[in-house]
């Protein structure tokens, strides 16, 4: 299931990050800010435990997060969202997965993976700015489950019906959180209206 984060602050930032005239420095800043808002909502039901702390006045009954959080960016564009989550949850651990599309089979192939052991029994957050066809996201979830992860969520900035459908079909237990669910994919598999190439815009590598 896809959850749309429709908060006015998120939507305002989304309008700026979409703009073709937004340069890579501001694009990176906005990606971080939007990610933090989405993650805030995505983690609202995370497991907590009751603790007692001493304030300067008296004891207080409080809640603390009671699960390991592991953030897994899909390389390379997912790196642009990482800082936003780490600012919100500084104790989170980080794994990485790199995928490319095989030219013959058109299927995602893993070329790099590194995960902390806490993916087993923890909460894994897969991040990628664009969930377009859904192939890379579904493949990343496949690999995490192969490694023992059983609590996975996806955070993206923009997605579309085609990508949501593919991930939901492959992994109906995984929630997708996004700032926008756009109209469609075009014939080049770009989200319309989308953001363009998020990796190029994040790192200033567009021509």
Q: Which residues are catalytic?
A: 101, 105, 197, 200
pLDDT at 207 over 70: no
Q: Where are the beta strands (DSSP E) in 42-165?
A: 48-54, 59-65, 69-75, 93-94, 96-101, 108-114, 123-127, 130-131, 152-155, 158-159
Residue-wise pLDDT for 138-147, tens only, equals: 999 999 999 9
Look over the chain and give the mean of its residue pLDDT values, rounded to a whole number: 94
Residue 30 sits at φ, ψ, to 5 deg, of -70, -40
Q: What domains sit in the chain, N to C, each tagged with a CATH number?
A: 2-203 (3.40.50.2020)
pLDDT at 92 over 60: yes
Residue-wise pLDDT for 150-162, tens only, equals: 999 999 999 999 9
pLDDT at 187 over 80: yes
Paired with 111 in beta bridges are: none
Query: Residue 23: its pLDDT value, please?
Result: 93
pLDDT at 120 over 60: yes
Report which of 189, 177, 181 is spatially closest to residue 161, judged by C-alpha positions.
Answer: 181
CB atoms within 10 A of CB 193: 13
């Amino acid at each position: 299931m896809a959850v749309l984060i429709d908060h006015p602050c998120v939507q305002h930032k989304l309008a700026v990050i979409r703009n073709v005239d937004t340069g890579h420095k501001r694009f990176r800043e906005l990606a971080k800010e939007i990610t933090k808002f989405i993650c805030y909502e995505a983690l609202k039901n995370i497991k907590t435990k009751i603790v007692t702390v001493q304030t300067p006045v008296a004891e207080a009954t409080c809640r603390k997060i009671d699960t390991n959080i592991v953030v897994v960016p899909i390389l390379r564009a997912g790196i642009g969202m990482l800082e936003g989550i780490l600012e919100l949850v500084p104790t989170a651990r980080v794994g990485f997965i790199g995928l490319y599309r095989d030219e013959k089979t058109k299927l995602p192939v893993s070329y790099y993976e590194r995960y902390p052991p806490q993916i087993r029994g923890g909460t894994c957050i897969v991040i990628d700015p664009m969930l377009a066809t859904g192939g890379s996201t579904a493949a990343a979830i496949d690999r995490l489950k192969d490694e023992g992860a059983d609590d996975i969520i996806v955070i993206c900035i923009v997605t579309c019906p085609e990508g949501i459908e593919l991930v939901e079909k492959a992994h109906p237990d995984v929630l997708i959180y996004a700032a926008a669910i756009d109209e469609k994919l075009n014939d080049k598999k770009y989200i319309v209206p989308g953001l363009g190439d998020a990796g190029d815009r994040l790192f200033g590598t567009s021509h």
